[in-house]
C-alpha cells in the first residue's frame, strides 16, 4: 500500500533501525501542477541538496546533480520534464510491502546545466514566481488599492494577486492558498501602491509586514499566509507535540556532527515605530529578558537590530491599534533574531516528515527547527534548532 504524508509506528521503527530504503522522486508538473510523469532521481555528488529555512518568503531550494543516462533530463522546450519548469520533489521509503511518500515541495527551475551525462539543476519554491526572481508578474501599469471606495479584505487581495495573468492567460499561481481564516474578514488598513517595474508578489510581502504574518510555500506547494503568535509563541511551543523525539544514543543521529552556537552579539532588542496623522510617532520595543537565554539583555547588554528602528505603515487607525501593530511586529522580529543567535546543529538520517518550525526533543530539551539541509545523494540531513527555553518570553515597553 502507498501512504502519503502519513506517519505510522512501522515507519518510525524503520527509520530507527535502518530497515527502510529511501530515494527521491521527481514529478514534472504542468502549470496547474498535475503530474505529467514520475522519475526516480539518480543523484550523484555530495552537492545534491535540499535546504529549508525559516521566515517569510522563499523557504525551499534544491541543487541536484542528476545522472542523465537516457537523456530524459536534457533541457529542451519540447521535453515533458522542462515544459513548465515546475516539479515536485518526493521522498519515498519502502518498508516491507508498504511505500511511504512525503512531498518536499513544488519547485520552479532556475537553471539547468548539462555536461556529458550530468545535469546540474537549481530550483526554488514557487515564491520565486512572486518576488521577481523568475521575472513574471511584473507591474506594467501603476497599481494601487483604494480603501476609500469600500472594504478591501486581506484574504481576497492575496487570492486576486495569485490569479493575476502572468502571460498566455495563465495565473501566477493556480493553486488555492492556505490563508488564516482570521484574514477573511480583516480589512486593509492602509493602501498599497506599486510602481512600474515592481512585481505583484510584493503585495503579499507587504501584507505580511503590515499584519505580522508569515507567508511561504509549504511542502505540498500551497502558499501559506498565517498570523504569527508573538508573546505567547514560546509557551505555545511547550505544549504542542513533538514531531520527533531523539532518544539517548539515538541510532538516527550522527554523533560526530553535534555542535552548538551562541552568538553573544546577537540581537536582543527590536524597536518598531509608526507615524500617525493625528498622534505623531508610536513605538514599541521588544526586549529579550528571559533569564535563561544566553543572549538576554541582562547577560550581554542591549544589542539592537540593524537598523535599530523598523518603520511600518499605520493607516487611519486609532493610536491603540497602531501600538498593537508595532508590538506584534517587534515581538515577531525579536523572536526570529533570537533564533538566529542560539542554535544547536546535528546530523541525522533524512527524516522526511520534519519541517521548519516543527518541535523536536533533542538532548533532553524541547527545540524548534530553524533550518534543514538534506544531502540528497546519501539521504542524510543536518538540522539547526533553537532551545525553546532560550527564546524571549518576557516583553517590556520602552517608548509610548
Q: pLDDT means per 10 residues in the chain (400 residues)?
A: 92 89 90 88 80 93 88 75 85 93 95 85 94 89 89 95 88 96 91 93 91 92 85 70 88 82 87 78 91 92 89 68 84 88 92 95 92 92 93 60
Query: Which of 367, 335, 325, 356 lies closest to 267 in space, CA to CA?
Result: 335
Query: Which of 126, 125, 26 lies closest to 73 in space, CA to CA?
Result: 26
pLDDT at 316: 58
pLDDT at 55: 85
d(CA 37, CA 26): 8
Taking a C-beta distance cutoff of 8 angstroms, is the pair 326, 313 a contact?
no
Query: Which of 30, 165, 26 lies closest to 85 in space, CA to CA?
Result: 30
Taking a C-beta distance cutoff of 8 angstroms, is the pair 69, 42 a contact?
yes
Distances in whole angstroms, Cα of residue 117 to Cα of each of 65, 222, 252, 358: 10, 34, 34, 38
pLDDT at 394: 56
Q: Which residues of 299-331 are buried (b: 16+ CB within 10 A; e: fewer)?
A: ebeebebeeeebebebbeeeeeebbebbbbbbb
pLDDT at 66: 86
d(CA 316, CA 313): 10
d(CA 348, CA 202): 37
pLDDT at 227: 84
Residue 386 phi/psi, 5° resolution? -110, 140
Using CB atoms within 10 Å of the CB of residue 367, give its burial: 0 to 12 exposed, 13 to 18 middle, 19+ buried.
Answer: buried
- The reply to whether the predicted model has a pTM over 0.75 is yes
d(CA 201, CA 313): 18
d(CA 128, CA 124): 6
Please work out, in degrees rounded to the nearest 5, the angle formed at the alpha carbon of residue 384 by the alpha carbons of 302 and 305. 25
Distances in whole angstroms, Cα of residue 32 to Cα of each of 53, 164, 241, 280: 26, 14, 34, 48
pLDDT at 72: 76
Measured over all CA atoms, what is the biggest interatomic distance in the chain, rounded to whole angstroms?
Answer: 69
Distances in whole angstroms, Cα of residue 389 to Cα of each of 69, 152, 291, 331: 50, 40, 10, 16
What domains can be seen in the chain, in order of their start residue?
2-123 (2.30.110), 143-227 (3.55.50), 254-400 (no CATH)
C-beta neighbour count of 395 within 10 angstroms: 17
Using CB atoms within 10 Å of the CB of residue 195, give its burial: 0 to 12 exposed, 13 to 18 middle, 19+ buried.
Answer: exposed
Query: Which of 87, 92, 86, 88 lies closest to 4 in space, CA to CA?
Result: 92
Query: Which of 286, 269, 279, 285 lies closest to 320 in space, CA to CA?
Result: 279
Taking a C-beta distance cutoff of 8 angstroms, is the pair 49, 377 a contact?
no
Query: Which of 235, 144, 229 lies closest to 188 in space, CA to CA?
Result: 144
pLDDT at 333: 87
Residues 6+ apart with CB under 8 A from 344: 258, 259, 260, 261, 362, 363, 367, 384, 385, 386, 387
Amino acid at each position: 500500500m502507498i501512504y502519503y504524508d502519513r506517519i505510522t509506528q512501522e515507519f518510525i521503527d524503520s527509520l530507527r533501525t535502518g530497515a527502510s530504503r529511501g530515494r527521491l522522486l521527481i514529478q514534472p508538473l504542468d502549470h496547474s501542477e498535475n503530474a505529467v510523469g514520475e522519475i526516480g532521481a539518480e543523484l550523484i555528488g555530495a552537492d545534491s541538496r535540499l535546504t529549508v529555512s525559516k521566515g517569510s518568503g522563499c523557504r525551499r531550494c534544491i541543487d541536484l546533480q542528476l545522472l542523465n543516462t537516457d537523456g530524459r533530463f536534457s533541457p529542451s522546450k519540447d521535453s515533458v520534464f522542462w515544459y513548465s519548469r515546475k516539479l515536485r520533489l518526493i521522498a519515498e521509503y519502502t518498508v516491507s510491502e508498504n511505500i511511504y511518500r512525503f512531498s518536499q515541495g513544488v519547485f520552479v527551475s532556475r537553471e539547468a546545466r548539462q555536461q556529458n551525462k550530468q545535469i546540474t539543476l537549481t530550483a526554488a519554491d514557487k515564491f520565486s514566481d512572486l518576488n521577481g526572481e523568475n521575472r513574471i508578474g511584473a507591474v506594467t501599469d501603476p497599481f494601487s488599492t483604494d480603501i476609500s471606495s469600500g472594504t478591501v479584505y486581506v484574504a481576497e487581495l492575496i487570492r486576486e494577486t495569485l490569479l493575476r495573468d502572468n502571460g498566455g492567460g495563465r495565473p501566477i499561481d493556480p493553486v488555492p492558498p492556505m490563508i488564516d481564516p482570521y484574514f477573511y474578514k480583516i480589512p486593509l488598513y492602509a493602501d498599497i501602491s506599486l510602481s512600474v517595474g515592481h512585481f505583484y508578489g510584493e503585495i503579499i510581502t507587504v501584507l505580511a509586514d503590515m499584519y505580522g504574518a508569515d507567508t511561504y510555500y509549504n511542502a505540498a506547494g500551497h502558499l501559506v499566509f498565517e498570523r504569527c503568535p508573538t508573546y505567547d509563541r514560546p509557551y505555545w511551543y511547550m505544549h504542542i507535540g513533538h514531531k520527533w523525539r531523539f532518544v539517548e544514543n539515538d541510532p538516527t543521529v550522527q554523533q560526530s556532527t553535534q555542535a552548538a552556537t551562541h552568538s553573544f552579539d546577537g540581537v536582543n532588542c527590536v524597536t518598531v515605530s509608526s507615524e500617525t496623522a493625528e498622534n505623531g510617532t508610536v513605538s514599541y520595543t521588544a526586549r529579550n529578558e528571559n533569564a535563561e537565554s544566553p543572549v538576554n539583555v541582562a547577560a550581554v547588554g542591549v544589542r539592537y537590530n540593524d537598523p535599530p528602528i523598523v518603520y511600518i505603515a499605520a493607516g487611519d487607525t486609532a493610536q491603540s491599534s497602531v501600538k498593537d501593530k508595532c508590538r506584534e511586529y517587534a515581538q515577531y522580529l525579536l523572536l526570529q533574531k533570537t533564533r538566529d543567535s542560539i542554535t544547536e546543529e546535528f546530523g541525522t538520517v533524512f527524516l522526511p516528515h520534519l519541517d521548519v518550525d516543527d518541535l523536536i526533543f533533542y538532548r533532553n530539551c524541547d527545540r524548534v527547527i530553524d533550518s534543514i539541509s538534506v544531502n540528497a545523494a546519501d539521504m542524510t540531513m543536518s538540522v539547526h534548532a533553537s532551545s525553546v527555553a532560550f527564546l524571549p518570553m518576557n516583553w517590556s515597553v520602552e517608548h509610548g
